[in-house]
Amino acid sequence: MDSEKIKEIQPDLIISQNMCEVCAPFYGEIQQISKILGYTPKNLILSPKNISEIFKSIILIGQEIGNSDLALYKVKELNKRMETIKKSLKDFFNTHKITKPKIICLEWISPFYLAGHWVPEMVEIAGGINGIGKIGSPSEIISIDRIREFNPDKIIIMPCGFDIKRTSIESMILRNDKNWNLLKAVEMDEVYFVDANSYFSKPSTRIITGIEILAKILYPDLFKELGIPSECYEKFVK
């Protein structure tokens, strides 16, 4: 931490979390900041584990900074985008009798970690079968045998905190993994990298953009007109 910058800012409020010591300011850092400042700012601890809790966090921040109206408006806007995806999928499934694709989201690849917390819910809203991961539960190590048993139709690689470029570099090791290459999704070229750092790893408003990205990956024809950020995902090239 930059001690001089912290002294310059003289914060009234610190927003922190207690889910992960790696990802963002944790208890030890908050104590250190208080020592640097010589006083203890108010500490708002936010550790949402699903989309509903992410929305509640936005409202809480709005209340703390005296901007509740904008926070409520933002949550309403995000809900509307999410409901648009749900309605499009509902109409699609009512018209087309198809099976939803089975999806695996990997938060790490050495070892394999199944993405948890809000990611399984994102998959379900985007029209996928989540299957293994539990909404709200932490990420967990998963074996290649368990992945093969689930037999996903598509695999989304989203290492925590990485962008696409870094993910592509880290995923090079998979190209020589015989068991990985035998997976159906790999054989069918249905493996994707996403910009996890921007749209999946953090419990922010951009999680809704992450849902839109997943919807585009899962149902490219249905959501071909859906606008998403450029360079937010790409196919894994074997």
Please report, to the nearest 10 degrees, the dihedral formed by the alpha carbons of residues 73, 79, 84, 87 taken in order. Answer: -140
Q: Is residue 190 within 8 Å of residue 200, measured between CB atoms?
A: no
What pLDDT digit, counting tens, does each position of 55-100 carry? 999 999 999 999 999 999 999 999 999 999 999 999 999 999 889 9
Residue 22 pLDDT more than 70? Answer: no
Domain 97-235 falls under CATH 3.40.50.1980: yes
Strands 103-109 vs 154-157: parallel, antiparallel or unpaired? parallel
Please state, rounded to an integer, the average pLDDT across all residues of the chain: 92
Q: Is residue 199 within 8 Å of residue 237, measured between CB atoms?
A: no
Least Cα distance to 157 among 117, 205, 204, 214 occurs for: 214
Per-residue model confidence (pLDDT) at position 186: 96
Residue 21 pLDDT more than 60? Answer: no
- More confident: 28 or 163: 163
Residue 139 pLDDT more than 60? Answer: yes
Least Cα distance to 124 among 53, 57, 218 occurs for: 218
Per-residue model confidence (pLDDT) at position 26: 63
What pLDDT digit, counting tens, does each position of 165-224 carry? 999 999 999 988 999 999 999 999 999 999 999 999 999 999 999 999 999 999 999 999
Residue spans of the domains in the chain: they are 97-235
